């Protein structure tokens, strides 16, 4: 990958981390993130920095993957010559349709969750994003790495992604950037840019709690693992906000943690999020 493209990816991730912090946590780390973002933007080549600002003002996606010859954001079929240039990575290139910068992913999981058909009735609430088969009432993991691996492999085993190992690697890389653990025993590990299907949510629980973020010593009990295609990279913040609003309440967390199996857990999740996730 071209160094500027890699820099853009890291900068884009930091700006999205800032949005996540605003939604799920508040202002605790915002000053630190703002400083990091400003520093990274200042190191971009002048014309790229200007374009970054223009693109970021419109959308979270400033640089996106080339997936099967398509721009992952606007879904335009790219010229074969452009795809080859992006792959060779001798310089940075942009989509001729949406102007977003492009990069060629190396090893990523593919989202295999089927999108609803054009004329299908859309499922309501949380059922749009998850299913009973993605409820994990008793995770075996003892730390953040093992919990993430366990949930990623479960998503693969249930047929929602095609590569659990690649999903694990991507989730751990995201976690290393900035912990997704928040207050009240909640954590939101996730991977963006998993193309091919729809926004997908798995929910796992460690009722006794684990230290999900070693640096802060945060004890987490409920884990919301999201697999996010580029097209849903802004919308997932609404899902994050709905889950946070629901489970900031102690009685909601207690109701979920008391569930002993996937059936009860799914019923509780549907009921608890009925007003917060539309």
* Predicted confidence pLDDT, tens digits, the chain (278 residues): 899 999 999 999 888 888 888 887 655 567 888 898 999 999 999 999 999 999 999 888 999 999 989 999 999 999 999 999 999 999 999 999 999 999 998 766 777 766 555 555 567 899 999 999 999 999 999 999 999 999 999 999 999 999 999 999 999 999 888 888 888 999 999 998 888 888 999 999 999 999 886 555 678 999 999 999 988 877 888 999 999 999 999 999 999 999 999 999 999 999 999 999 98
Q: What is the pLDDT of residue 195?
A: 86
- Measured CA to CA, the distance from residue 240 to residue 19 in angstroms comes to 10
- Which residue reads 């295999």 in tokens? 112
Q: Which residues fall within 8 angstroms of residue 67, CB to CB, at 6 or more apart?
A: 105, 195, 196
Rg (CA), the chain: 19
Q: What is the pLDDT of residue 235?
A: 84
- Measured CA to CA, the distance from residue 36 to residue 110 in angstroms comes to 30
Q: How far is CA 278 from CA 60, 124, 133, 155, 270, in A?
A: 22, 7, 21, 23, 11
One of 3.90.850.10, 3.90.79.10, 1.10.287.1490, 1.20.1250.20 is the CATH number of 3-103, namely 1.10.287.1490
- Measured CA to CA, the distance from residue 243 to residue 236 in angstroms comes to 11
Q: Interhelix angle for 3-24 vs 164-177, to 10°?
A: 70
Q: How far is CA 12 from CA 38, 64, 96, 159, 207, in A?
A: 12, 10, 20, 29, 34
Domain locations in the chain? 3-103, 125-272
Kindly write down the DSSP assignment for every residue of 53-80, as one continuous string.
HHHHHH-S-SEEEEETTEETTT-PBPPH
Backbone angles phi, psi at 195, to 5 degrees: -90, 165
Backbone angles phi, psi at 155, to 5 degrees: -60, -40
Question: Which burial class, exposed, middle or buried, applies to 107 when counting CB atoms under 10 A from its CB (0-12, 13-18, 19+)?
Answer: exposed
Measured in whole angstroms, the distance separating CA 166 from the mean position of its chain's CA atoms is 14
DSSP label at residue 189: -
- pTM, two decimals, is 0.86
Q: What is the pLDDT of residue 27?
A: 54
Cβ distance 224 to 182 under 8 Å? no
One of 3.40.50.150, 3.20.20.450, 2.30.110.10, 3.40.930.10 is the CATH number of 125-272, namely 3.40.930.10
- Measured CA to CA, the distance from residue 164 to residue 189 in angstroms comes to 14
């Amino acid at each position: 990958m071209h160094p500027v493209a890699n820099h853009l990816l890291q900068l884009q991730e930091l700006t999205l981390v800032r949005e996540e912090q605003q939604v799920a946590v508040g202002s605790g780390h915002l000053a630190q993130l703002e400083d990091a973002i400003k520093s990274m933007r200042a190191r971009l080549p002048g014309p790229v920095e200007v374009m970054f600002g223009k693109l970021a003002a419109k959308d979270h996606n400033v640089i996106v993957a080339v997936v099967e010859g398509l721009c992952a954001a606007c879904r335009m079929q790219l010229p074969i010559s452009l795809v080859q240039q992006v792959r060779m990575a001798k310089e940075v290139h942009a989509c001729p349709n949406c102007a977003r910068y492009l990069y060629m992913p190396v090893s990523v999981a593919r989202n295999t969750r089927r999108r609803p058909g054009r004329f299908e009735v859309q499922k309501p609430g949380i059922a749009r994003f998850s299913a009973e088969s993605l409820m994990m009432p008793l995770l075996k993991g003892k730390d953040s790495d093992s919990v993430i691996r366990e949930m990623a492999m479960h998503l693969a085993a249930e047929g929602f992604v095609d590569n659990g190992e690649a999903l694990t690697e991507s989730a751990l890389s995201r976690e290393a950037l900035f912990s997704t653990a928040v207050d009240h025993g909640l954590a939101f590990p996730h991977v963006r840019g998993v193309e091919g299907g729809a926004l997908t949510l798995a929910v796992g629980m460690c009722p006794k709690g684990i230290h999900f973020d070693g640096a802060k010593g945060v004890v987490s009990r409920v884990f919301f693992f999201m697999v996010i295609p580029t097209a849903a990279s802004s919308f997932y913040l609404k899902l994050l906000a709905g889950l946070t609003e629901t489970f900031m309440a102690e009685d909601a967390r207690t109701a979920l943690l008391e569930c002993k199996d996937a059936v009860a857990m799914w019923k509780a999740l549907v009921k608890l999020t009925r007003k917060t996730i539309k």
